[in-house]
């Protein structure tokens, strides 16, 4: 057996363990009995140590040394591309695993499980002080991880790089500053337009019909339910991989758009996972390029496609069949305006696409201050509320509406939030590139034919796996560098036309 074949076998083993860990995390947020959380903490910690041990296997280091000296690089059996990206990614994973003590990995896994349940309880009871110690522990562990991995002088850069390889704080700050300069006044201009949406338009929509309708929509977009499923959770998410993709949503009889668009959003993630090469899910060729790219795939379907008039020209009749009594007195224009309503909403996941990125900018600036020491955990609620008042003229009435609303920090996922806006930028850029290269795109969407766009995304994004990072992939897919100008253009065209 060649050195590459031996490495491939070990990567497959690690991937199998990681997929089991993913199922435990999915179960914890969907089906786990409330009083069983302590056992899940022990299970997660034990499995994390097993995965870490497999990643730090000295034989992997020996095999990588041998493969890195080979020139020219050999070819993989199932791909015409060189194994360079596979070796590069495996080397990074191995080096980081060998630098992290097993005790750190165990503590981090245990804290993630414990902090999730503490966050859920704190949000329900609007009790930030009970959650603050867990958040402090996560911040301390993030800085400790940076020390172990040689990023001690720039721990927040590491957090961003963990989610979006090739991106650092300076890059995010540059792009966000450009966006914020134009987006803040643009949002104010759009918000000043009198609302055309009745406040009680959506009430009493049966959940079983919501579920049937969103299943029809997500299937038509291309999600393969033979390789995936959708369930309910406190916070919608997508987990797993192309072989077994798990999505979740949440339901409210008085807010059917929340379940629908959160499902469409997660379907975008699922389509990306299902579009990655199935025989390479264990290596870089079958791995997503990063969370910014991942978010671009969810956002282009959620916003550019499924909030468009063209999409609703096709799906409005089906929506009315699903809810005939509730929509009997609602005109087509009222429905479209409600789907694209812009308002000052304190909750990020419920906000519109005009103000959404301002929510993300607040989180980026907050995290950066936490890591620099300019902001203490105890001062988070007051700082958070002040930022919302300044940038969005929103006054959160509780911490549940404010700093406790997101699940991310309970898993130590600092540096994740910038990915959402990076993804929004790329989604808009991809949208205009697709329009230029697919002349019948609008007509196809109007006919409920989403295959051409999905095939285009498969070719431009999905098939590349993690060969390229976000900035490289943007240029290859669109011919231009990543820029907020396309997102600003899109928002102006949709909301000021």
* Under 8 Å between Cβ of 255 and 202: yes
Element (H, E) at 247: strand 244-249
* Under 8 Å between Cβ of 352 and 362: no
C-alpha pair distances (Å), 349 with each of 237, 353, 453: 11, 10, 25
Burial class of residue 172, CB neighbours in 10 A (0-12, 13-18, 19+): buried
Residue with tokens 């103000």: 355
* Under 8 Å between Cβ of 180 and 486: no
Residue with tokens 């020390």: 147
C-alpha pair distances (Å), 85 with each of 163, 164, 329: 17, 16, 56
Helices in 222-355 by DSSP H: which ranges?
256-275, 291-299, 309-322, 332-339
CB count within 10 Å of CB 110 equals 17
* Under 8 Å between Cβ of 437 and 257: no
Longest dimension (CA), the chain: 71
Element (H, E) at 232: strand 228-232
Q: How far apart are the first and last CA of the chain?
A: 63
Q: Specify the length of the chain in residues.
A: 497
Residue with tokens 């990023």: 151
Minimal CA–CA distance to 244: which of 270, 214, 279, 212? 270
Q: Which of 25, 114, 161, 266 is catalytic?
A: 266
Helices in 287-440 by DSSP H: which ranges?
291-299, 309-322, 332-339, 356-372, 380-392, 417-437
Residue 167 CA to chain centroid, in angstroms? 16
Burial per residue of 275-314, b for 16 or more beta-carbon CB atoms within 10 angstroms, e otherwise: bbbeebbbbbbbbbbbbbbbbbbbbbbbbbbbbbbbbbbb
* Under 8 Å between Cβ of 305 and 314: no
Q: Establish whether 170 is a catalytic residue.
A: no
Give the whole-angstrom CA distance, residue 46 versus residue 109: 9
Q: Could you give the strand order of the β-sheet that contains 238-241, starting from the edge strand earlier in sequence? A: 228-232, 244-249, 238-241
Catalytic residues: 266
């Amino acid at each position: 057996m060649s050195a590459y074949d031996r490495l491939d076998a070990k990567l497959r083993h690690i991937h199998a363990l990681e997929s089991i860990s993913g199922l435990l995390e999915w179960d914890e947020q969907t089906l786990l009995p409330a009083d069983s959380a302590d056992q899940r903490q022990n299970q997660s910690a034990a499995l994390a140590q097993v995965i870490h041990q497999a990643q730090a296997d000295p034989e992997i280091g020996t095999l990588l040394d041998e493969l890195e000296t080979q020139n020219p690089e050999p070819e993989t059996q199932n791909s015409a591309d060189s194994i360079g990206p596979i070796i590069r990614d495996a080397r990074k994973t191995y080096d980081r695993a060998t630098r992290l003590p097993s005790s750190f990995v165990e503590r981090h896994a245990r804290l993630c499980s414990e902090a999730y349940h503490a966050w859920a309880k704190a949000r329900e009871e609007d009790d930030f002080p009970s959650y603050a110690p867990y958040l402090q522990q996560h911040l301390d562990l993030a800085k400790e991880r940076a020390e172990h991995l040689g990023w001690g002088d720039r721990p927040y850069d590491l957090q961003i790089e963990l989610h979006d390889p090739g991106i650092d704080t300076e890059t995010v700050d540059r792009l966000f500053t450009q966006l914020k300069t134009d987006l803040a006044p643009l949002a104010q201009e759009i918000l000043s337009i009198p609302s055309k949406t009745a406040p009680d338009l959506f009430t009493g929509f049966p959940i079983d019909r919501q579920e049937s309708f969103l299943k029809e929509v997500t299937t038509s977009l291309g999600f393969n339910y033979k390789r995936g499923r959708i369930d309910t959770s406190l916070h919608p998410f997508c987990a797993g991989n192309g072989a077994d993709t798990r999505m979740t949503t949440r339901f409210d009889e008085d807010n059917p758009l929340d379940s629908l668009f959160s499902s469409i959003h997660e379907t975008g993630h699922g389509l990306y996972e299902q579009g990655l090469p199935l025989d390479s899910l264990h290596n870089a060729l079958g791995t997503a390029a990063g969370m910014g790219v991942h978010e671009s795939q969810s956002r282009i379907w959620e916003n550019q496609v499924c909030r468009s008039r063209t999409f609703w020209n096709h799906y409005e009749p089906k929506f009315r069949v699903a809810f005939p009594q509730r929509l009997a007195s609602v005109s087509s224009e009222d429905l479209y305006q409600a789907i694209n309503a812009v308002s000052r909403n304190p909750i990020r996941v419920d906000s519109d696409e005009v103000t959404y990125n301002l929510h993300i900018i607040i989180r980026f600036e907050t995290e950066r201050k936490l890591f620099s020491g300019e902001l203490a955990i105890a001062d988070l609620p007051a700082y958070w509320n002040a930022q919302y008042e300044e940038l969005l003229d929103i006054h959160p009435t509780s911490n549940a509406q404010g700093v406790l609303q997101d699940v991310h920090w309970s898993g130590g996922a600092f540096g994740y939030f910038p990915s959402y806006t990076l993804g929004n930028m790329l989604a808009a850029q991809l949208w205009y590139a697709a329009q230029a290269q697919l002349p019948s795109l609008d007509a196809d969407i109007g006919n409920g034919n989403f295959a051409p766009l999905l095939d285009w995304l498969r070719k431009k994004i999905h098939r590349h796996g993690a060969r390229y990072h976000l900035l490289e992939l943007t240029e290859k897919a669109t011919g231009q560098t990543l820029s907020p100008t396309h997102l600003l253009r899109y928002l102006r065209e949709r909301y000021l036309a």
